[in-house]
Structure 1
């Protein structure tokens, strides 16, 4: 049984976790990286698996836009944004100068990315949950039980909190910062607070102090209390987290203890999932490190993007590197899953194909043009791709198959332009590549020497030998000689077999040689 189906089955049979409410959350501290889609997809798959059981289930995604900015991503203008350190993200102006706030700009962009790959949770904004009063009851519970919360921190995480510590931070009415405020008292109606200049290293408070009601959006609960408070406030019964949150004594352990001892609800069903890495690197939204989710969903079709997440068990680390042959292999694996579904073969693979669809309807059996073949034939301008794949199929392409081919052509072009290994790319540039300026006098002499050979040859095997012989005749290493050919056509020092490539682009090659020689 597929892992998401197993989890859904376990949840349903437990008789607990009702009403079923799946949730995930993220702080929109900058351009959100692709690794955050792992959590989205884990929860989306469990949500869909529960739907397949015929039960009623809700799926929400919370943006923690009340969190304060504690660092500057490398793409922000520090002169403009340094003054906003310590302010909650929902109050910081958007870099695009169009969105309502910093948080909305990056949150909306990430929502579009998750929607594109078929995950469509109800979006909630923490600032609205607080300002609407939805969090008022849990704020009161937390402040009333501050002593118990301090005990949980000590027992679970070994963190000693002073008796004057309260799990709440105020948005300073004077300077607007939240990260620099400290609550030191609670009388049942108002909190006493200070906006401290030295509270944190990344933001300087203004020194203001006072009393204020903690309700209606004047501040927020601290993260490790805020998380379980959200569970109670919106009714979450199923929520996992990445392994950094689920380590012993970590935020999940604290949250579980708090729901039991303070908020008096059951802990949501946990799904501790592994990281999604790009080229072996963990990513950071706040630091601006890693491939963005927006970029990721642009380099693969939505079904293939989903398939990458679907085919990996939630507790297995995914290390995705779009360079090399990773993407062509991913298409091959998806095509194999499609065949398993259509031909009623491997049940697990078939289920993966079903869950990879971005719409409820699973496509009927049809011809799938192999991505690697699309890449190869796409680069030969003499080949009509529709006719070539009709020849491979052994019959006319249906409208659905033509659409499939068109889509794969689109993504093959992206792969060739951005991620393909050098040996796979042999599309000549539109103009003389800038790299051709590095040609030596010996290489230019070689190009002059082979111009007539290119004009007169019709046999690629013979031309390949003639190209080698010309390099020997002129005393230039074959590596440097062939590099000259590739530099004038594709701006690289390596490429496909030179003779075949030159004959395929004979007129262009001669034109480029004349251009480089000034003849």
Structure 2
């Protein structure tokens, strides 16, 4: 049983009376949302699909925490934006001048990417929620319960408590009405009039009535359980950093129960996703990340979803843009064929079905590895690519070829230039002279094979090529074959590897290959 199905079953069993199941996730728009953040929403998405499979109504919430403070200028944004640190993301200008705010720029960027996956949650923008005064009763309640909240927070820390710290603690951030930053200090709270006096580092000071305030935000570990109660959330995942014994979830769970008198939602911790070849954590601010848009340039939406669906949320994995792309494609293509033939194993079948965006199992699609081996040799000309595929007996729609070719070209040019191969313009005499007498005999035998017409029978041709370097010892035979292929590729392409030999002949042409092998 797939992990999302297990979570859905647990939710249904725990809430048999429920008509609607509210599942939530959320992200702060601190920069471009990367695929580590994407795991937050896709985990929730899979659970909502599992619930819907059981005929349940679902509210799929996605909170943009755009009332959070702007903490750090990310890579790719002008350093002058440091002057906005401390303001809400929703009040920082768009770094690129194309949206109304910093928050909106990164929100719309991610929302556009989600459309490609057909993921359409109900978006909640926290700036709008706070400014609507919807949360003000909860804010007032938290302020009046501030000493109890202080005790809970400190019970999860190793530091010592003090009556002075307890008396001066307020579970809120206040944005200054003058400079709009949170460089403020709560100076006093009037318990009879429910007003709060604050002072700011900019010199501004004011008293605000909690009921009317639009510049007060609950601290994260109080804000989270407050929203669980407000939205009646039954399930929400969280990253590893929130999931430790003293992490945000356990703290917020206690605050939900003891301060807001509500039951916390079921929780699924998820592991971080790494970038292959680096131990650094993915981060929007550092620019050390892949975004969903980055992956969508290389993979179809279904393949990306499958990459997440096949792993338990608690399993860490790395994503690389090197030869891992070929491995991921090969795996997905194998399961796609098995799914079409109804031979795919159980749990993988469920992961595959969760990943379906458009059910195109009956459409023929060229193999990514095949396309990426041909494209550089035909100078990325899709018309020539289709001609080569047709001559090889591979017939696909123009749309199917273009989709795979465009992703392949982007991957090769942007991420894996090792695939940029070209046919040698002249004979590689220097390399030929390094060959042994036996290897030169192989080359001449292969050249003689090119003179014969195999009538497109690739298997017959490969049998004859294997026979060139045959040996009774199977290990020697295998080593010889590998060496022969390497020699052919070096003499024709200048590299140690390349497309399958019959395909190489199709692309280069027999006459050209014989000329390059004429010594």
TM-score (norm 1): 0.77
Deviation at 1:124, TM superposition (A): 1.0
Q: Does 1:266 align with 2:263?
A: yes
> What's the counterpart of residue 190 of structure 1?
195
| Contact map agreement 1:191 1:211 (CA 8 A) in 2 | yes
Deviation at 1:180, TM superposition (A): 3.8
Q: Which sits farther off after the overlay, 348-357 or 85-94? A: 348-357
Match of residue 493, structure 2, among 468, 487, 501? 501
Q: Does 1:425 align with 2:430?
A: no
SS of residue paired to 1:497: helix
- Count of paired positions: 436
Q: Which sits farther off after the overlay, 183-192 or 219-228? A: 183-192
Match of residue 243, structure 1, among 240, 247, 252? 240
| Contact map agreement 1:166 1:184 (CA 8 A) in 2 | no
1:433-512 residue pairs with structure 2 within 5 A? 454=426, 463-465=427-429, 467-469=431-433, 497-501=489-493
Deviation at 1:158, TM superposition (A): 4.0
| Contact map agreement 1:310 1:352 (CA 8 A) in 2 | yes
Deviation at 1:464, TM superposition (A): 4.0
User: Matches of 1:367 and 1:244 in 2, distance apart?
Assistant: 43
SS of residue paired to 2:31: coil
| Contact map agreement 1:337 1:352 (CA 8 A) in 2 | no
> What's the counterpart of residue 288 of structure 2?
289
| Contact map agreement 1:194 1:207 (CA 8 A) in 2 | yes
1:155-194 residue pairs with structure 2 within 5 A? 155-158=155-158, 160=161, 161-182=165-186, 184-187=188-191, 189-194=194-199
Q: Does 1:95 align with 2:134?
A: no
Deviation at 1:233, TM superposition (A): 1.9
Q: Deviations over 1:141-199 (max 9, x none)?
A: 2112111111110123345453121111211112111244446424252112122xxxx
Deviation at 1:76, TM superposition (A): 2.2
SS of residue paired to 1:157: coil
Q: Which sits farther off after the overlay, 339-348 or 5-14? A: 339-348
Inter-CA distance 368–179: structure 2 relative to 1 (3 Å threshold): farther
Inter-CA distance 141–319: structure 2 relative to 1 (3 Å threshold): same
Q: Does 1:405 align with 2:401?
A: yes
> What's the counterpart of residue 225 of structure 1?
222
User: Matches of 1:334 and 1:130 in 2, distance apart?
Assistant: 44
Inter-CA distance 118–84: structure 2 relative to 1 (3 Å threshold): same
| Contact map agreement 1:344 1:350 (CA 8 A) in 2 | no
| Contact map agreement 2:78 2:95 (CA 8 A) in 1 | no
Q: Deviations over 1:13-32 (max 9, x none)?
A: 22269431111111111222
User: Matches of 1:3 and 1:206 in 2, distance apart?
Assistant: 51
| Contact map agreement 2:36 2:282 (CA 8 A) in 1 | yes
User: Matches of 1:357 and 1:76 in 2, distance apart?
Assistant: 36
User: Matches of 2:260 and 2:399 in 1, distance apart?
Assistant: 53
Deviation at 1:465, TM superposition (A): 4.7
Inter-CA distance 426–208: structure 2 relative to 1 (3 Å threshold): same
> What's the counterpart of residue 146 of structure 1?
146
User: Matches of 2:273 and 2:22 in 1, distance apart?
Assistant: 24
Q: Which sits farther off after the overlay, 148-157 or 39-48? A: 148-157
Q: Deviations over 1:330-382 (max 9, x none)?
A: 111111221232222212222222111224xx334343322111111223329
1:95-114 residue pairs with structure 2 within 5 A? 95-114=95-114
User: Matches of 2:17 and 2:185 in 1, distance apart?
Assistant: 36
Q: Deviations over 1:117-156 (max 9, x none)?
A: 2322111110011111221222122112111111110123
Q: Deviations over 1:303-339 (max 9, x none)?
A: 122121122211100211112x111111111112212
TM-score (norm 2): 0.77
SS of residue paired to 1:10: helix
| Contact map agreement 1:68 1:87 (CA 8 A) in 2 | yes
> What's the counterpart of residue 12 of structure 2?
12
User: Matches of 1:387 and 1:404 in 2, distance apart?
Assistant: 14
Q: What residue ranges of structure 1 are gaps of 5+ in the alignment?
A: 196-204, 429-449, 455-462, 472-494, 510-519
Q: What residue ranges of structure 2 are gaps of 5+ in the alignment?
A: 436-486, 495-504, 513-519
| Contact map agreement 1:426 1:496 (CA 8 A) in 2 | no
SS of residue paired to 2:197: strand
Deviation at 1:8, TM superposition (A): 0.9
SS of residue paired to 2:235: coil
Deviation at 1:408, TM superposition (A): 0.9
